[in-house]
Amino acid sequence: MKKFKYIVIILIVVTAGAWLAHRSYEQKVLQEIIARLEADSRAAEVLVVGVNYNEEFKKNFTTIKFLEYDTHDRPLAPRYFIFPGNVIQFQSLVVRFDDRFVAAGDALKGKSVYLFWKAFMLDGEKTKEYPIAYLNEIPGGYKIMDNSDVVEQKFWRRFWDYAFDKEAAHKAGIKNVQIEAPGAVFIPGYFYTIKIEHDGGLRIDTKPLPDIVRGERVL
């Protein structure tokens, strides 16, 4: 009888331990899901590298440095754009996947996919714009193979279809596809980071440059 009691106690302890372990694992998974849904990644950085007054047009021209990052957070070749003003926007195509993929950290659909179409400044007939990516082109930040890779080219052709084919997008687990154009007032002395939210779209974060680099020409 005493042996039976010991067995019962051991079973209770083991069961309780298993329940606590499962509960702890469940809490950890829930925390990871929430973290993924709230996470974001750096997409690009922007810095004002010049403001010059143009006598002909009687206005300041702003030169920005646009540095995009690939999916492994590696910088691509920087681009420089000059605008007759400083209210600048970045037209982007953003593809949001269903929350279940984001929550699960899916390797392919675990966060929103974006690409920059162009940088522009609205000014009526004098609107100025610079292309960054083209229709049916593989965006630089996502390119993984050389130009001869048929599979990669086919994937991105299909990707562009999602922007115009709602049924195909739904079958691929895509929640929605839309064009966004986040913008800001770009002035010297500030550092701008464009981020992609894993379950959302693009946003621009702004912060002052560190005091140590103010007034210095940084190479």
For 6-48, what is the HEC assignment?
A: HHHHHHHHHHHHHHHHHHHHHHHHHHHHHHHHHCEEEEEEEEE
Query: Which range has highest mean pLDDT (13-27, 53-67, 128-142)?
Result: 53-67
**pLDDT for position 211:** 83
| Per-residue confidence (pLDDT) for residue 25, from 0 to 100 | 54
Residue 77: pLDDT over 70 = yes
Whether pLDDT at 1 is above 80: no
* pLDDT score, position 42: 74
DSSP three-state, residue 178? strand
Name the more confident of 154 and 122.
122
Instruction: Evaluate if residue 147 carries a pLDDT over 60.
Output: no
In this predicted structure, the answer to whether residue 208 has a pLDDT above a threshold of 90 is yes
Average pLDDT, stretch 63-83? 89
The pLDDT of residue 99 is 65
Quick check: pTM over 0.75?
Answer: no
Tokens of 195: 């981020």
**Across residues 82-100, what is the average pLDDT?**
86
Report residue 2: phi and psi, to 5°.
Answer: -65, -40
Kindly state the average pLDDT of the residues 46-61.
91
User: In angstroms, rounded to a whole number, what is the distance separating the alpha carbons of residues 124 and 84?
Assistant: 12
Q: Where are the beta strands (DSSP E) in 38-173?
A: 40-54, 59-68, 79-83, 87-97, 113-121, 128-131
Confidence of residue 176 (pLDDT cuts 50, 70, 90): confident
